[in-house]
Amino acid sequence: MSSPWFVYLLRCADNSLYGGITTDLNRRLSEHNDSNKLGAKYTRARRPVCLVYAEQCTNRQSASIREYQLKKLKKGQKEQLVLNFKEPPFLK
Could you tell me the pTM of the whole model? 0.92
CA dihedral 42→82→33→13, nearest 10 degrees, is 70
Could you report the per-residue pLDDT of 10-69, keeping only the tens digit for each?
999 999 999 999 999 999 999 999 999 999 999 999 999 999 999 999 999 999 999 999
Q: Specify the pLDDT at position 89.
A: 74
Cα dihedral sign, 79-12-6-25: negative
Q: How far apart are CA 24 and CA 5, in angstroms?
A: 8
The CATH number of the domain holding residue 64 is 3.40.1440.10
Could you report the per-residue pLDDT of 59-78, keeping only the tens digit for each?
999 999 999 999 999 999 99
The domain in which residue 22 lies consists of 5-91
Q: How many domains does the chain have?
A: 1
Q: Specify the pLDDT at position 91.
A: 72
Residues 11 and 71: beta-carbon distance below 8 Å? no
Nearest 5°: phi and psi at 38? -95, -25
